[in-house]
Structure 1
Amino acid sequence: MRKMAVFIKPYKFSVILVILFVFLQSLSELFLPTLMSDIIDKGVVNGDIPYIWKIGGVMVLVAALGMACAIFASYHASKTAAGFGRDVREKLFTHVENFSQKEIDQLGTASLITRTTNDVTQVQNVLINFLRILVRAPLMAIGGIIMALTQDVKLSLIFLFTLPILAGTIFFIARKGIPLFKEIQKKIDRLNKIVREKLIGVRVIRAFNKEEREERRFDEANADLTKTTLKVNIIMASMMPAMMLILNLSTVAIVWFGAVRIDQGNMAVGDLMAFIQYAMQIMFSLIMVSMVFIMIPRAQVSIDRINEVLDTKPSIKSGNNKNNKKTEFNEKGYIEFQNVSFHYPGAEKPALSNISFSAGPGEVTAIIGGTGSGKSSLIHLIPRFYDVTDGSIKVDGKDIREFPLDQLREKIGFVPQKSVLFSGSIADNIRYGKEDATDEEVKRAAETAQALEFIDHMKNGFDTVISQGGTNISGGQKQRISIARALVRKPEIYLFDDSFSALDFKTDARLREALKMETVNSTVIIVAQRVSTVMDADRIIVLNEGKIVGIGTHKQLLKSCSVYKEIVSSQFSKEEIA
């Protein structure tokens, strides 16, 4: 809870105002029963109508003041809670942005979404109630007891019996319900995970006619969440009837013994009515406190989950560069792998072992191998999506772990295996690589990526809106826009992670030919499955089970590397190989 306090500091003035207005509201509510007692004992009993009007007017004024204070308190409490929620969500979002894939896999995408939305909302709701109720309730309880004692000390002894019973009931119910709150948040995570998988994989689900299976999965998770929520709500719902029963029995006891006190001439009727109201205020203040204390454990679960994210340190840390100045090098884009090995977290075997090679500007280095040979793993190490387990990767003669991450990634134009587009226009998606790119630069990048041919045929051209995930265009079109996004950046290093797989052979060939002109001063690394994509490369690296089994040109590898020869034989006829 203390860690969350830092997010409230910017709103300390609003918090002070909330406390002030709640204090004034409480005073007004405590003053009203005394005024009512005076009206009855001095006005009604004596038939003094002017006195009734006079004190009645004062009561209206006090009530109006209390209402105004309540409105101002609610406004500032809402302002503080909303600002707190906004700041925590922003902190979570920016913190998660620095996570490597390891941390994202560890916490889970669905859970991160729940923590950023549902958990923050839980804490925000408790904060607004905490500010209003937890300040007001003690004031009302203490003030009510003091005012009740001023009315009749002996009658106040009833509280010695009722308050412990009330507190014991609250404790018993809270003890039963609180452990279930953590279960609810976990089950919300699971439900979100299923919904997310359903939405992302909707085409596969439909293609295999698995709609009923997914509906069953959702229904099971939904029913499980509903069952737990109902259980905790039934437990918590029993609190109010129990509270009201104790409250009503207390009122009966007060009226009973108060009547005896009036009959004995030790108490006035107005004092008894005021005493009943003070008793109500005391009881209701305890009920309000109990409701907040029930919400706090649930919020604590959410706070723990939020803190778990904030306490998770990114395993990939940015290198240091004094004064944030960009380091200048003589060579631009030179890459060197030195005995690099890499394990995925929790994996039994290394994904890569003893990888050593170099790639320089003006060269095209291709990586080919069977499924699971480590091609994508290798290319993901360069922008530090993961860090090497052993060995080192150098760019321009400097270990990439020494670079500030933003400087390292500024040097790279990355095209992922799975094309990722964002909602917005085609031009917006291309400019994602360079925000200040001119229209001419955007058009040139699209032309080089062979995307201009389909963009020109669209009604709105570059202003055509891409839906979320690029679902309104084909896979090949998505790949070409992704390639244009990297090209517009004009980086020192191009990384193509099987980025031509959705293109036909004709478009693939045209694209590679156009790339030669654009990347003449850059280092290009291409991961591919097709031999036709890599056969013209200056250097081909053949991977097998995470190890390099051959490096050379197409002709050299045909003679020296059996793995490469098998790959070529599987894609070309003997006549084509010859």
Structure 2
Amino acid sequence: MRTLLPFVKQYKKELILGPFFKLLEAVSELLLPLFMAKLIDQGIRSNNLTEVYHYAFIMLIMTLAGLACVMICQYYASVASQGFGTELREALYKKINQFSYKQLDDYGADTLVTRMTNDINQLQNALAMLIRLVIRAPFLSIGSVIMAFYIHPKTALIFLVTLPIFFLLLLVLMKKTIPLYKKAQAKTDELNRTLQENLMGIRVIRAFAQQSNQTKRVATNSDELAATSLSAIKISTLLNPLTTFIMNIAILLLLYFSGKEVNIGNLQQGEVVALVNYLMQMLLALIVVSNLVVIFTKAATSANRVTDILDLPIEEELGKRTHETIIDTHQPVVLSVDQLSFQYPNQNGWTLTDITFKANVNQTLGIIGATGSGKSSLVQLLPRFYEWQKGHIHLFNQDITSLNLDTLRHPIRLVPQKSSLLSGTIRSNLLFGKNDATEQDMWEALNIAQAKEFVEQLPEQLDAPVSEKGDNFSGGQKQRLAIARGLIAKPALLILDDSLSALDYKTDLQLRQALKQQLPNTTLIIISQRVHSIKQADHILVMDNGQIVGQGNHQTLLNDCATYQAIVASQEQTKEEASYE
């Protein structure tokens, strides 16, 4: 909870003034029954219109003053809760952006989305209720008892009998509902996970005609959430009717005993009305207290889930050493990997074993291997998306574990397997690769990526809209736009992780030739399962089961590497491919 205090402290004024004005409103509400009693006893019973008007005017003024206080309190509560929620959500998003790949894998997108939306909404609601009701409700409950004793101590004993009965009822209900609310939040995470998986994989689901099965899966998760929530609601809804029952019994007892007191002249009719009002105020305030317990219980669970994220060490702290260091890019060896071994967290066996290779300036390094051979895992270690267990990686002769992550990643651009474009425009996506890119830079990048022609044909050209994930473009167009975004900054090291797979042979060849000719200072790493895409590389790594089983150029590997020979043999050269050699 301490983690959240800095976000709350920014609203000290609202946290003080909001409850203060709500307290003033509660004072006016406590005094109203007393003035009503005087209006009845001194005005109506005596046929004294002056007294009736006098006390009616006082009650009107107090009502209007109470209304003004409520409005002021509501304003402060809204400012504080919305501001708190906005800043907390921004801080949470910023923290998630610093997550390592391991942390992202550990949590998953579904629970992170739930924590940024539902959990923060719960905390916002709790803060608003803290300002509006936390002082008012207990004050009204205690104040009603005090005012009842002020009017008639003997009859007010009924209040003291009613309180423990109500609290016993509240304790029993809370004991049953609190675990159910926690379970419901876990079920919400589960449902969000299932929905996200289905929405992201909807094409695969349709391709395998699994709509019915997945619909049943979503329905099952939804039914489990509904059942858990319904169980909690069924128990919670008992509170109001049972409280009303207790209140009605208490009112009957109050009327019975106060009637006797009226008959013997110890109590007046107006005071009986005031006592009934105070009894109702007390019990209704206690219902509010019980609802606050539910709200704060949910908020406590949400606070733990949010602080769990905020208290995690940032990605920088996960490394060994992260000093600010300037990279000297004027080195002949761009990348050096020495005896590198790596395994994913919570996974048995090594994903990569004893990987050693070098890449020089302006060299094209090809990496080929079967699916699951460790190609993508290898290149994800270069920007330190994951931490490895053995070996060393040097960038321009500097150990990358000694570099600040921003410093390390600045000269590197990785275009991943899945070409993910951001919703917006082509221009905004290119600016994502280089914030200060000019239009000339953009067209140059598009030209190298073989995307200029189709972008020029769009009515809006650079300002053409890009839908979520770039789904309004074909697979090949998305890959070329993603590559343009990666190379627009002219990085020292450009990594294409199977980013040419959707391109035809002619476009693939033209793109690689353009990269070589127009980015002379860029070292290129191409990962591919197609021999055609890497056969012209200066140096090729052949990977199998997380190991390098062959290194050299195309001809050397054809002579010496059985795995490479098998790959080449399985991809017999087509007429189309041969025509572009």
Bin for the TM-score computed over the shorter chain? over 0.9
Contact 1:423 1:467 in 2 (8 A): yes
Counterpart amino acid of residue 128 in structure 1 = A
Aligned to 1:110: 110
Contact 2:333 2:358 in 1 (8 A): no
Contact 1:333 1:411 in 2 (8 A): no
Stretch deviating more after TM superposition (331-340 or 113-122)? 331-340
DSSP-derived class of the 1:414 partner:
strand
Shift of 1:330: 3.9
Shift of 1:230: 1.0
Q: Does 1:168 align with 2:168?
A: yes
Stretch deviating more after TM superposition (336-345 or 141-150)? 141-150
Counterpart amino acid of residue 494 in structure 2 = Y
Aligned to 1:452: 452
What are the residue-to-residue correspondences of 1:428-577 with 2, within 5 Å? 428-572=428-572
Shift of 1:59: 0.8
Aligned to 2:48: 48
Separation in 1, partners of 2:198, 2:325: 46
Aligned to 1:22: 22
Separation in 2, partners of 1:154, 1:407: 78
CA deviation map 1:166-222 (0-9, x unaligned): 000011111111101111111111111121122111212222222211211111111
Counterpart amino acid of residue 272 in structure 2 = L
Separation in 2, partners of 1:418, 1:4: 37
Separation in 2, partners of 1:333, 1:405: 20
CA deviation map 1:338-390 (0-9, x unaligned): 11100011111111011111112111111111121111111111111111111
Shift of 1:4: 2.5
Aligned to 1:396: 396
Contact 1:319 1:403 in 2 (8 A): no
Aligned to 2:244: 244
CA deviation map 1:116-169 (0-9, x unaligned): 101111121122122211110121122212211110111111122110000000
Separation in 2, partners of 1:146, 1:346: 61
Aligned to 2:5: 5
Instruction: List gaps (5 residues or longer) in structure 1.
Output: none
Separation in 2, partners of 1:328, 1:465: 39
DSSP-derived class of the 2:433 partner:
coil
Separation in 2, partners of 1:207, 1:223: 27
Shift of 1:326: 3.8
Identity among equivalent positions (%) equals: 38
CA deviation map 1:421-464 (0-9, x unaligned): 01111122122100110001100100010001211222222221
Counterpart amino acid of residue 29 in structure 1 = E
Separation in 1, partners of 2:320, 2:442: 32
Aligned to 1:376: 376
Contact 2:426 2:462 in 1 (8 A): yes
Runs of 4+ with >3 A deviation: 314-322, 324-330, 573-578
Separation in 1, partners of 2:343, 2:472: 37
TM-score, normalising length: structure 2: 0.96
Aligned to 2:258: 258
What are the residue-to-residue correspondences of 1:218-229 with 2, within 5 Å? 218-229=218-229
Instruction: List gaps (5 residues or longer) in structure 2.
Output: none
Shift of 1:44: 1.5
Question: What RMSD over aligned residues (CA atoms) do the two structures have, in Å?
Answer: 1.9
Separation in 1, partners of 2:314, 2:51: 72
TM-score, normalising length: structure 1: 0.96
DSSP-derived class of the 2:23 partner:
helix
Separation in 1, partners of 2:530, 2:316: 33
Shift of 1:414: 1.3
Q: Does 1:128 align with 2:132?
A: no
Contact 2:144 2:278 in 1 (8 A): yes
Counterpart amino acid of residue 306 in structure 1 = V
Counterpart amino acid of residue 214 in structure 2 = E
Shift of 1:395: 0.7
Counterpart amino acid of residue 140 in structure 1 = L
DSSP-derived class of the 1:550 partner:
strand
Shift of 1:518: 2.5
Contact 2:173 2:239 in 1 (8 A): yes
Contact 2:325 2:407 in 1 (8 A): no
Stretch deviating more after TM superposition (520-529 or 230-239)? 520-529
Counterpart amino acid of residue 420 in structure 1 = S
Separation in 2, partners of 1:276, 1:460: 72
Separation in 2, partners of 1:96, 1:86: 15
CA deviation map 1:384-403 (0-9, x unaligned): 11111111111111111221
DSSP-derived class of the 2:153 partner:
coil
CA deviation map 1:43-88 (0-9, x unaligned): 1122111111011101100110001001111111121111111122
Shift of 1:5: 2.6
Aligned to 2:101: 101
Counterpart amino acid of residue 561 in structure 2 = C
Shift of 1:508: 0.6
Separation in 1, partners of 2:404, 2:325: 10
Aligned to 2:281: 281
DSSP-derived class of the 2:429 partner:
helix
Cα 1:530/1:329, change in 2 over 3 Å: closer
DSSP-derived class of the 2:7 partner:
coil
Paired residues in the alignment total: 577
Aligned to 2:271: 271
DSSP-derived class of the 1:481 partner:
helix
Cα 1:545/1:112, change in 2 over 3 Å: same
Shift of 1:308: 2.0
